[in-house]
Structure 1
Amino acid sequence: MTTESYTRRPPLETREWEKVVEVAYEGPTGSLTLIDGKGITLPKLTTSGPGAYRVRVHLRGRDLVYQAPYPPDGAVELLIMVFPGEWREPTVHR
């Protein structure tokens, strides 16, 4: 899992990904953190403090998990981008 924080909306890239979905997040405290599969807390993702954000999640490799009895670490790749943005319905880009 890779996380990225932006101060403005980053360009949309769908070509290399199986799924790309974007959702709204309201950060009342200005602190959004994630914990990876190993229990490690990742850096704070809300760069602009309290307020409205968009969270864009990119996914690839999910099919490999279902095809292999013991998929290798890193078989599923996630890229999570967080940036300031208005509330909108979830958007499926791919």
Structure 2
Amino acid sequence: MAIKRHNDGGRLVVTYQTFGIVDGDDWPLDDPGQGNGLVHPCGHGALVYAGIHTGPVEVQAVSREQPHDRIDDSRPWQEVAEVSVTAPTGYLRIRSFEDVVPLPTLGAAGPGTYRVRVYADGRDTDIDGAVRAPVKHYRIEVWPAPCADDVIHRRTAAGAGGSPLARKHASI
């Protein structure tokens, strides 16, 4: 059984199609590449492609001591993927370029490597648009673990090949 450290959430304003699970206060400037279309490891955390260009999204975050033994089914998640991230300071938090969800750190085990599982719903709604109310919902689960390959647990969204930004990079 996976023990939760905390389970909380909030609204986050997304800009430039992304938000992140970032270690520290600096926004990652390195290009995470094409990745799996949903979540992409970067130098000190991971970037999530939100589907919208600008606007609020709902984000729930869960910090665990170990992975949950099954995929969350609290809502009809269209995409579920997980990646490994490095947290040099252990201060993982959810943020966008301009906004931060006020939660305790997700890197509760301190500096090291973590698995980040991202759930997404609503990614086919208003792709690359600007919204005033949340149409995208995300759940982020984080636990300490050694580095491992990306895992795609579910991909049912029509736009599941990635964000418009990821598709643009793939076509170059």
Fold-level similarity (TM above 0.5) = yes
Separation in structure 2 between the aligned mates of residue 14 and residue 56 of structure 1, nearest angstrom: 10
Separation in structure 2 between the aligned mates of residue 65 and residue 37 of structure 1, nearest angstrom: 20
Q: Which residue does 1:60 correspond to in 2?
A: 121
Match of 2:68 among 10, 25, 38: 10
Q: Which residue does 2:25 correspond to in 1?
A: none
Q: Which residue does 2:149 correspond to in 1?
A: 89
Match of 2:88 among 9, 25, 28: 28
Separation in structure 1 between the aligned mates of residue 87 and residue 98 of structure 2, nearest angstrom: 25
Separation in structure 2 between the aligned mates of residue 58 and residue 30 of structure 1, nearest angstrom: 22
Q: Which residue does 2:32 correspond to in 1?
A: none
User: Percent same amino acid among aligned pairs?
Assistant: 28
Separation in structure 2 between the aligned mates of residue 52 and residue 60 of structure 1, nearest angstrom: 26
| Amino acid across the alignment from 1:73 | A
| Amino acid across the alignment from 2:149 | E
Structure with more of its chain in strand, by fraction: 2
Separation in structure 1 between the aligned mates of residue 97 and residue 88 of structure 2, nearest angstrom: 25
Deviation at 1:7, TM superposition (A): 1.3
Deviation at 1:26, TM superposition (A): 1.4
Q: RMSD value over aligned CA atoms?
A: 2.2
Match of 1:79 among 139, 144, 150: 139
Deviation at 1:72, TM superposition (A): 5.8
* Distance 1:20-1:64 versus aligned 2 partners, 3 A rule: same
Residue ranges of structure 2 left out of the alignment (5+ in a row): 1-58, 155-172
